[in-house]
Amino acid sequence: MPVRVGDHKLLSFASSVDDNTIAQALETASMPFVHPHVALMPDAHFGLGSAVGTVIPTVDAVIPAAVGVDIGCGMIAARTTLTHNDIADRDLAALRKSIESAIPLSPGNYNSNLGRYAFTQGRVAALETMATERGVDLGHSPKWREQLGSLGGGNHFIELCLDEADTVWMFLHSGSRGVGNRIAKRHIKRAQKLCRQWHITLPNDDLAYLPTGTPDLEVYLRDLAWAQAFAFENRAEMMDRFRQALAHWSGRTVDELEVDRVNCHHNYTVRERHGGKDVWLTRKGAVDAHEGVRAVIPGSMGSRSYVVRGKGNAAGLCSAPHGAGRRFSRREARARFTADDLAEAMAGIEYRHGDAWVDEIPAAYKDIDQVMADAVDLVEVEYTLRQILNVKGT
């Protein structure tokens, strides 16, 4: 059950959350256009702009920094026809290297050739058409086409997983890459400039907003929709490449390999109705959990992940957590843990060894079992997945 924090418009579903995160969420909830309340998800932690794991419904205004700089970041999972027995005697390291060849990893790494896969051009063309028809200016990102189908860094990852029945799943996490980042920063700066011009007092600059009726909000929503579409297609593009690699490695044909797919955002804004009003609902580190809606909730790189269905919980603003949530910052994780600690935590999982990923060690994240226990009123679990292969960008 959620807990109301003081007399404020903040409901928390988190059984374990630090004071800084609560304070940040309270600042967001204090904005006068929030309705009916801000919902803090079980995986909430301190973030840039607003706390990660915050669901923010706003009337006649949108806060660009609350959406964040990785517009449309999210998850995609695909169930295959393979079982563990089908791949038990195959070399997972070879599959990992094939994936790393097919999908550019790490910030700044893009595709050098857009013609390698037949399906890429269709996605590029659709995004070009959307940008042209809606007047989206992408002059700030001339390389956005080359970014499509690239992973990025941080906690973005690609995994091969098994469910409870030992069925093989493809699984990955990414967003709108550099083009989404530039779109976000452009509009965050614009909102901050306008709020200063209008002499609006804010709890902090990252709560600067764009109000309804201004051309600035119209432009932001237009650009936001394109960036969210890019992020969705970016995940789909990588999943199609992952499927090609898995089919070749496993000896199956591409057409017979995949039987189910779930693709969902967890950093985005959408028009929804809550508390009897039409609002702009920003999910910053949260997934859509309307009744029956499917979503994906990952754990850390060495723990379980989940495919879920929403329960449509009104108090939770029909939302659910987006993952395990960090316990320690990246800097603190590097101070606490070593590459040997990571190797021990990743025993039995194929991954690239080294200290580049120490800040992603499972111990740097909250207990995913506790997060899911806190989310029992928000979602029901459809599949539980465990990793056998992990690929990360630095």
Residues in binding site for GMP:
155-159, 266-267, 298-301, 305, 322-325, 392
Q: Residue ranges of the alpha helices (H) in the chain?
A: 19-29, 64-67, 84-87, 92-102, 120-134, 144-147, 177-197, 215-250, 254-257, 330-336, 339-345, 368-374
CB-based burial, 147-158: b 16+ in 10 Å, e otherwise? bbbbbbbbbbbb
What helix, strand, coil percent values describe the chain, rounded to 5?
A: 35, 25, 35
Q: Is 94 in a helix, a strand, or coil?
A: helix
CA dihedral 121, 125, 126, 129 (to 10 degrees): 170
Smallest CA-to-CA distance from 299 within 173, 168, 153, 175 is with 173
Q: Which residues belong to the active site? A: 322
Cite the annotated binding site for Mn(2+) by residue number: 70, 156, 173, 266
Q: Report the C-alpha gap between 205 and 65 in whole angstroms.
A: 9
Cite the annotated binding site by residue number: 70, 155-159, 173, 266-267, 298-301, 305, 322-325, 392
Q: Is 118 in a helix, a strand, or coil?
A: coil
Q: Report the C-alpha gap between 382 and 308 in whole angstroms.
A: 5
